[in-house]
Amino acid sequence: MKKSIKKGFSFGLTSAIITTLGLIIGLNSTTHSRSIVIGGILTIAVADALSDALGVHISEEASSKKITKKQVWEATISTLLSKFIFAITFLVPVLLLKLDTAIIVSIIWGLFLISIFSYYIAKSQNASPYKALLEHLVIAGIVIVITHNLGLIIGKFFA
């Protein structure tokens, strides 16, 4: 895989998983509304994918490394597509299952994707996959706990 595409893909995948999980967990804790969670996923899939793609585009243009316009666009498009596609996958359990079950399935799905990708990255860099897995799963766990509790606080005081 080209370095520019790998960069955009890895950023998009990670951002999609962490952002979408955080959003759906927080929204569910606040509202317990399937339609609001679905709206949140769709919003993240479109607005955040476009935002992150633009951020990667500008970051690549501002990079001090020699990079071609083609490489900038490869990173931009791979960020956009991976962010959109991986965020949209979280719709499947929300559409097919009871909301509480869908949230649990989404957490498992997100942690599974992060684990697979972390393992792949670590192996490709001849690093310890277990250290990378632990680091990335701990960060994801922190996001899950914080957004759940934030949703509860928002629900208690503002809903």
pTM for this model (two decimals): 0.91
What are the tens digits of pLDDT across the range 24-54? Answer: 999 999 999 999 999 999 999 999 999 999 9
**Could you tell me which residue, 1 or 39, shows the higher pLDDT?**
39
Residue among 36, 53, 18 at smallest CA distance from 138: 18
Give tens-digit pLDDT for 87-146: 999 999 999 999 999 999 999 999 999 999 999 999 989 998 999 999 999 999 999 999
Q: For residue 66, is pLDDT > 90?
A: no
Task: Please list, in sequence order, all residues whose beta carbon lies within 8 angstroms of the beta carbon of residue 71, skipping any fewer than 6 positions away.
Answer: 2, 3, 4, 60
pLDDT given for residue 158 in this prediction: 86
| pLDDT tens profile 7-18 | 889 999 999 999
Cα(71)–Cα(38) distance, integer angstroms = 34
User: Quick one: pLDDT at residue 1?
Assistant: 75
pLDDT band for position 2 (cuts 50, 70, 90): confident
Total count of residues recorded for the chain: 159
Q: Say what the pLDDT of residue 65 is.
A: 78
Q: State the amino acid at position 2 in one-letter form.
A: K
- Cβ–Cβ under 8 Å, residues 114 and 135: no
67 or 82, which is more confident?
A: 82
Residue 4 pLDDT > 90:
no
Question: Taking a C-beta distance cutoff of 8 angstroms, is the pair 30, 99 a contact?
Answer: no
Q: Which of 42, 39, 28, 18 is nearest to 148 (CA)?
A: 28
